[in-house]
Amino acid sequence: MFVPIHDVNALKYIRVQYVTFGLIAMNFAVWALTALTPAAVGELAALGLGFIPAVASKAAVLDPSLVIVPSDLTYITYAFIHLDFWHLASNMLFLWVFGDNVEDALGHLRFLIFYLLCAVAGAIFHSFVTPGSEGPLIGASGAISGIVAAYFILHPRVRLWILVFFRIPLPLPAFIPLTLWLAQQFIMLTLDLDGMVSWGAHVGGIIAGALLVLVMRRKGVPLFDRRVVLPKAVEVRASVPSFPRSQS
């Protein structure tokens, strides 16, 4: 529908978004280790690290030769597996544009926990929608959907630059494209249950992100941009009273 390319939204509490950078680097590293190797390695990673609802619910058993981590850990590990570069690139672009401000609002450690919990929620909801599926769920879309939902709640009024039809740059208030994107996920969940995209994982991440940001954000961080929060350095300068200068 659209491609986010930049938001006019400076960091207010942190200097560098270390966790966002780290997650992007980790996702690309895992992709390089799986997708740039023989196809059999990528398939093994998808089966051994991907989330398989039937295996998670004990309705099916994965061949022992394919097991890489315990099935409970696949609620998280699936979110770091991408076999398609464009799937990876689109997820990481959303993380690049929106992740820094959510990390800013939550703090580094809480943002990492938030990201992982959204991934878990995506897997749980995917399993709820397709409980008997024996195909592996892979990709960071559930966690990314949670970040988009949190950003929508935190910063709906900021200016967001997007590419429409992959070629037309357009600045809009963030709530316009994000409302359309969020609505699309719920609509597609009802229309495309058997497709290649897990809309259930997206919706699970959205619900988790919207709820978690309410309780995990820093104290004093407003919702829906109800007031402007200046960077701390600016707040300090603004709090110092000014005195008239003597003139000689």
pLDDT score for 39: 72
| Cα atoms in the 13 Å half-sphere on the side-chain side of 156 | 14
How far apart are the C-alpha atoms of 60 and 130, rounded to whole Å? 14
In whole angstroms, give the CA distance from residue 229 to residue 120: 31
Quick one: average pLDDT of 37-66?
A: 89
- The answer to pTM > 0.75 is yes
pLDDT at 242: 39
For the ranges 171-180, 186-195, 199-208, 224-233, which has the lowest average pLDDT? 224-233
Domains and CATH numbers, the chain: 2-234 (1.20.1540.10)
Predicted confidence (pLDDT) per residue in 105-120, tens digit = 999 999 999 999 999 9
- H-state helical runs in 130-162: 141-154
Q: Which residues contact 149 (CB under 8 A, 6 or more apart)?
A: 182, 205, 206, 207, 209, 210, 213
Q: Quote the mean pLDDT of the chain.
A: 89
Distance CA 38, CA 35 (A): 8
Residues 6+ apart with CB under 8 A from 2: 162, 163, 164, 177, 180, 181
Nearest-5° Cα angle at 25, 33 to 108 = 140
